[in-house]
Structure formats: C-alpha cells, structure tokens
Amino acid sequence: MNIVPAAKAFTPDHRTATVWALLLAILLCGQSTLLAQAQPVSDSSTRARLFAELAVDAEKFERQNILKRLVHLVTPSVVHISAYKSIKPGSSEVTEEAGSGVIVMIKNNPMVITNRHVIKNASLGNIDIKLHDGRPALRGEDLV
C-alpha cells in the first residue's frame, strides 16, 4: 500500500463518523453470528436456535436501514485514482492504471491509502485523485 496526502478539505469529522459507522456495523452483526462462527454446532436444536437469533438480527438490520446510513457516512472518504504510466521506460506509450482509495487521518494529516500497483511507476504529476462525487481532489503534482 502507498500512502499519498489527500485534499485539505477533509475534516476529522468524517474520520470520526467513519469509525463510529464501522463500529456500529460490527456491533449490529449480532452476537449469534459470532457464536455460530466461533463454535461449530452439530446438534439440530442449538443450530435452529442460532438461526432463529440470526433471523431476528437480520430483521433488525433491515428495519433500521443501517446499511444505507453506513454507506452514506463512509462514501465521502472514498476516492477514485487514475495514474498514467509509461509502458516501458523512455517510451512515449502511456497506459492508465485506475483504482480506488480511502481518505484517512494520520496525525491530523489527511492521507489517501490505495494499493501499490495503482500508482507504482507513475510520476506525481501523472496521478489524479477524484472525490466520490467526481470533483477533482487534487493532482499528484500538488502533493509535493
């Protein structure tokens, strides 16, 4: 993974909301699913009880529309990255590598985390980062 500084418009409020949203999603998965994964059960009455508990948890999840709220909270931290690279060193042929990343705060500095292959061998001036709504976050040359 490479860490590239992101747009300055990102605020710690997004980070806090993202952390709380992820914790909420983990907690709302229900203890019954965690028990079912941790302890394989072979007797049918226990399995039936665990599946019934899981069905109740799933119903709560659907009723509260948590997934839509979670997506709404974390979407602003997702970015699209395009990196333009030479196919061979010194070649004028260029290829585009595209991927996604996520904006995080590290020591009060916004950063974009992405997979290495997305920006490997691309110069900073040939990396574009766009926000989830298509607005340009910044260009690689602005990162220096």
Task: Note the pLDDT tens digit of each residue in 74-119.
Answer: 888 899 999 998 877 777 888 899 999 998 888 888 888 999 999 9
- Specify the pLDDT at position 1: 43
What range does the domain containing 25 cover? 14-72
Q: Are residues 79 and 64 in the same domain?
A: no
Q: Contact, 128 vs 139, CB < 8 A?
A: yes
Of the spans 26-30, 65-69, 116-120, which averages the highest pLDDT?
116-120
Average pLDDT, the chain: 74
- Is the model's pLDDT at 144 over the cut of 60? no
**Residue 144: how many CA atoms within 13 Å on its side-chain side?**
7
Q: Are residues 97 and 48 in the same domain?
A: no
Q: Are residues 54 and 80 in the same domain?
A: no
Q: Are residues 64 and 108 in the same domain?
A: no
- Specify the pLDDT at position 60: 79
Q: Shortest CA distance to 81 belongs to which of 33, 38, 120?
A: 120
Q: Are residues 84 and 137 in the same domain?
A: yes
Q: Shortest CA distance to 112 belongs to which of 121, 102, 120, 122?
A: 102
